[in-house]
Amino acid sequence: MTLKRKYEQLPTYCQFEKNLNIIKNKWTIYIIRDLILGKKFFSEFKENQPNLSNKILSQRLKELENNNIIIKKVEDYETSYYLTEKGRKLQNILYELAIFNIEEEYSGEELEDIKKELEKLKYK
């Protein structure tokens, strides 16, 4: 058995791959970002991503719900979506990805201002 094969059999590798597979699909990160920013209705997700079809949006929301990243609430014929505790933990991961990206593009005071603004989005 190769070293790579042994590594792939480790439980942590499986969890890493499973979690990455949840968020790697096109549009999923944008939906999670919108939820972090307070969006909660189907129409709001569409508003921010006009190229996202209703079918794909429905699929992504269902996938996130099935993986306990979001919960769906229906009240008075209105459906809304919210991050679960597990979903809120993604906030810090997305924050770190954003920081990783902006450090390549910005520096000095501008970088610090952006970091300060992004800090508000972290899950505490």
pLDDT at 122: 81
Architecture of domain 3-84: Orthogonal Bundle (1.10)
pTM, 2 dp? 0.77
Q: Which residues contact 31 (CB under 8 A, 6 or more apart)?
A: 45, 57, 60, 61, 64
Averaged pLDDT in 10-residue chunks for the chain of 124 residues: 55 69 88 93 93 96 95 95 94 87 90 88 78
CA 78 to chain centre: 23
Q: Hey, what are 112's tokens?
A: 């610090």
Residue 89's contacts (CB-CB under 8 Å, 6 or more residues apart) are: 123
Reported in sequence order, the residue ranges of 24-69 that DSSP labels E, i.e. its strands, are none
What kind and span of H or E run contains 96? helix 90-105
pLDDT of residue 68: 94
Length of the chain: 124
List 73's β-bridge partners, or say none: 80
